[in-house]
Amino acid sequence: MILKIVRARRSPIHEKDLLQLILDAAKSYEESGGDQLPADVSAEMFIVDNCKSIYFAGHENTGLTASWCLMLLAAYPEWQARARAEVLDVCGTELPNDSMLRQMKVLTMIIHETLRLYPPVAFVVREALQDISFKRIEIPKGTNIEIPIPILHQQSELWGPDTHKFNPERFAKGIAKACKVPSAYIPFGIGSRTCVGQNFAMIELKVIVSMILSRFTFSLSPGYQHSPVFRLVLEPEHGIYLYLQRI
């Protein structure tokens, strides 16, 4: 499907959107003899892999997090009311701008707690580049090490006895004070491999949720079946169904 769209883009003139920038980069790699790409990666594979990454990381993850966030706000009307009051106080009848988004402390707490309970990426995988001795565990070079993020985010010794409960208040003083080990909160990864779109994703989520809150009240449909399932990303197996009522 991606290559079909790409081949339709072969006309000489196109706007410089993100897809065109990827195509131009692939073309420059081809013209250089392909020496800028690994031997087993073709220009077409380069294009497809980049498009997949942008879709899953830049679209799917944000969409799923917004869905889980709305589900939680529907299930906890007291938090929905607090978030709505904040949005209306900060924005009034205006569309949220950068300054307004920075003032939304309650909504930020809610989004962080949503990402804690339902991180879109379920695993972080790293390969050992050399033999490692870690906590009396011998890890041979070439071993893939998987960190299950949802399990890490719900360890009671790190997050307290209410670890399985929706409690945005735990982020009232920021991520650093939310649990005993701040690096245990990794919905966007950690270290040198932290997601480059982290700040943009938070802006997107605040805009999406705040605009819905300012226009609607919502509750869970009686037909909603709660069943998170891992399918490359963490998604609701049966979808999320809400009743919305315009304010």
Whose CA is closest to 10, among 25, 1, 20, 21? 20
Bridge pairing between strands 144-148 and 123-127: antiparallel
Q: Would you say 179 and 167 are in contact if contact means Cβ atoms under 8 Å apart?
A: no
Q: Which pLDDT tens digit goes with each residue over 18-38? A: 888 888 888 887 777 655 556
Q: Which pLDDT tens digit goes with each residue over 91-122? A: 998 999 999 999 999 999 999 999 999 999 88
Between the alpha carbon of residue 5 and those of residues 2, 19, 30, 47, 213, the distances in Å are 5, 10, 19, 11, 36
Please, where are the H alpha helices in 56-197?
61-75, 77-91, 98-103, 105-117, 149-152, 156-159
Q: Which residue has the tokens 């420059």?
A: 28
How many Cβ atoms are within 10 Å of 184's Cβ, its own excluded? 18
Instruction: Report the pLDDT value the prediction gives residue 107, as an integer from 0 to 100.
Output: 98
Q: Which pLDDT tens digit goes with each residue over 152-199? A: 999 999 999 999 999 999 999 999 999 999 899 999 988 887 888 889
Cα 139 to Cα 1: distance, rounded to the nearest angstrom: 40
Between the alpha carbon of residue 237 and those of residues 75, 95, 159, the distances in Å are 18, 33, 27
136-145, 147-156, 191-200: range with lowest mean pLDDT: 191-200
pTM (2 d.p.) = 0.82
Instruction: Report the pLDDT value the prediction gives residue 26, as an integer from 0 to 100.
Output: 83
Cα 187 to Cα 198: distance, rounded to the nearest angstrom: 9
Give the annotated binding-site residues for heme.
195
